[in-house]
Amino acid sequence: MSDKQKQEFLRQARPLAKSLMHHAKTAGAKYGITDVKIAIHANTERDTEIERGAVAKSVGGTTHSVSITLYAGNRKLSFTKNTLGETALKNAMTENMKAIHLVPETPDARLLEKEKVYTGPQPNLNLYDITQPDNDKLISYAREVEAAALEVPGAKAVRSVSISKNESHSLIAATNGLRLENSKTLYQAGATVVAEDENGMQIDGEYSVARHFCDMAAPKTLGRKAALNAVAKLGADLPDTGEYSIVLDHDAAQSFFNSVFQAIDGTAVHRDATFLKGKIGQRVMSAEVTITDNPLLRKGVSSQSVDSAGVKSEEITFIENGILKHFNASLTESRKLGLEPIGRENGRTNSRVKPGIETPDELISDIKDGIYIQGFNGGKVDVNNGTYSRQAYGKRIRNGKITDEAVDGFVVSGNLKEMFMNISLADDTPPQPGSKYSLAAPTTRIDKVMIAGR
């Protein structure tokens, strides 16, 4: 889709939404329909894979969907149709109107009160790339990634290289005055590389995600990093079982801090399925830890100025100097918990762990025997009781220095209640959140962690 097609989408979506809302009001009267919410989406995607310099797959197309939520007092019924056909949508609405009286009442799931719907000005967050590359440029990018990976000594083969371009347009309207129109682009590229030496093979990779193509990682950088990640794991050994200080690189730290958001998730809190329930205003992490969430980051992968419920999205601090300040709750979850909505209907946005005061080298300098963790492979995180058990890989730390000794296959075990308290942070938080978790985190040290090895 081009900018012209963006305007074409709005030309179709605006009158369609108006007509469907009118149908809900008129035809729905005898069924007790009190409100309706319409969400119209158009999504265009192109996925390309490269193998040995040739295009192995290139598929794409445009899909349309319309999601409609009907309200009859405290009853709510939602459905989705993959069509913009007005007659078909109205017929589906009528059939669902007839059935809504069978739905249990859910008072907390009603629309946002009209007076709370944000209708003011919205900043331009620059989420739409108007200078989009054609497919040839995407293919060229992927070929450069593959070629760069194969230039790294020890890289035996490139298992896969892929790149995708996604363009989405949406219009959301509701009878409470909600009106949102958004257009976004998203590019994703990744490579998986096989490395080999006399001791065997290892597999790893790298990826890049951005709203604008010009902000993607340089293809040669991406390919080389994917290969280096795989090569670095060659000759990996198991560390001895014992208690260690561990240090997480940026990627591993993002993964670890994601468990904080699992623990403060509104649904988990409401279901009494997290050890942080009832902890607002209490210290739950090291005093070094402050975690903010900024929905207004320009070009941010998860940026928004208003959430899909109609609540204005503003920067918020979830953890401040170790003190829990907010749960990450949707509108419905906020009502169930008796809290004010925070503009996070679809979850957190661009989160950031504020940096510490030591350099990474200073953070590691007094560790005589530790482990530098570069990634996790699955595992279990149970925020109900705090259990943390995940397989990991990385390098040994000896005498305050990260060595070239690869370690793999060991399990990081502990309880988040203690691990959260034993955190120390370096001063190197990246300026932009990592794409996998929409989270920026510095090099992170956690003391007194049990490692299950040999």
pLDDT at residue 108 greater than cutoff 70: yes
Mean pLDDT for the stretch of residues 218-226: 98
Mean pLDDT for the stretch of residues 90-95: 98
Backbone angles phi, psi at 424, to 5 degrees: -130, 145
Question: Domain boundaries in the chain?
Answer: 3-231, 242-452
- What pLDDT is stored for residue 223 in this prediction? 98
Cα–Cα distance, 340 to 329 (Å, whole number): 9
Mean pLDDT for the stretch of residues 14-29: 98
Lowest-confidence region among 100-109, 411-420, 430-439: 430-439
Of the candidates 293, 322, 282, the residue with the CA atom closest to the CA atom of residue 423:
322
Q: Which residues pair with 196 in a beta bridge?
A: 201
- What pLDDT is stored for residue 285 in this prediction? 98
- What pLDDT is stored for residue 438 in this prediction? 85
Q: Looking at this protein, which amino acid is placed at residue 282?
A: Q
pLDDT by residue (tens digit) across 257-282? Answer: 999 999 999 999 999 999 999 999 99
Does 325 or 435 have the greater pLDDT score? 325
- Per the CB < 8 A criterion, the answer to whether 195 and 226 are in contact is no
Cα–Cα distance, 17 to 40 (Å, whole number): 8
- What pLDDT is stored for residue 2 in this prediction? 58
Please report, rounded to a whole number, the percentage of residues in the chain having pLDDT higher than 90. 96
pLDDT by residue (tens digit) across 352-388? Answer: 999 999 999 999 999 999 999 999 998 999 999 999 9
pLDDT by residue (tens digit) across 418-447? Answer: 999 999 999 999 988 877 778 999 999 999
Of the candidates 161, 112, 172, 182, the residue with the CA atom closest to the CA atom of residue 340:
112
Mean pLDDT score across all residues of the chain: 96
Of the candidates 156, 167, 140, 149, the residue with the CA atom closest to the CA atom of residue 48:
140
pLDDT by residue (tens digit) across 42-54? Answer: 999 999 999 999 9
Of the candidates 281, 279, 438, 433, the residue with the CA atom closest to the CA atom of residue 348:
438
According to the 3-state scheme, what is the secondary structure of the chain?
CCHHHHHHHHHHHHHHHHHHHHHHHHHCHHHCCCEEEEEEEEEEEEEEEEECCEEEEEEEEEEEEEEEEEEECCEEEEEEECCCCHHHHHHHHHHHHHHHHHCCCCHHHCCCCHHHCCCCCCCCCCCCCCCCCCHHHHHHHHHHHHHHHHCCCCEEEEEEEEEEEEEEEEEEEECCCCEEEEEEEEEEEEEEEEEEECCEEEEEEEEEEECCHHHCCCHHHHHHHHHHHHHCCCCCECCCCEEEEEEECHHHHHHHHHHHHHHCEHHHHHCCCCCCCCCCCCECCCCCCCEEECCCCCCCCCCCCECCCCCECCCEEEEECCEECCCECCHHHHHHHCCCCCCCCCCCCCEEECCCCECHHHHHCCCCEEEEEEEEEEEEEECCCCEEEEEEEEEEEECCEEEEEEEEEEEEEEEHHHHHHCEEEECCCCCCCECCCCEECCCEEEEEEEEECC
- What pLDDT is stored for residue 4 in this prediction? 80
pLDDT at residue 242 greater than cutoff 60: yes
Confidence of residue 1 (pLDDT cuts 50, 70, 90): very low
pLDDT at residue 406 greater than cutoff 80: yes
- Out of 3.40.50.2300, 3.30.2290.10, 3.40.190.10, 3.40.91.50, the CATH code matching 3-231 is 3.30.2290.10
Confidence of residue 226 (pLDDT cuts 50, 70, 90): very high
- What pLDDT is stored for residue 306 in this prediction? 98
Cα–Cα distance, 444 to 254 (Å, whole number): 10
Measure the CA angle with vertex 265, ends 263 and 269; round to 5°: 80
Confidence of residue 256 (pLDDT cuts 50, 70, 90): very high
Mean pLDDT for the stretch of residues 143-167: 97
pLDDT at residue 228 greater than cutoff 60: yes
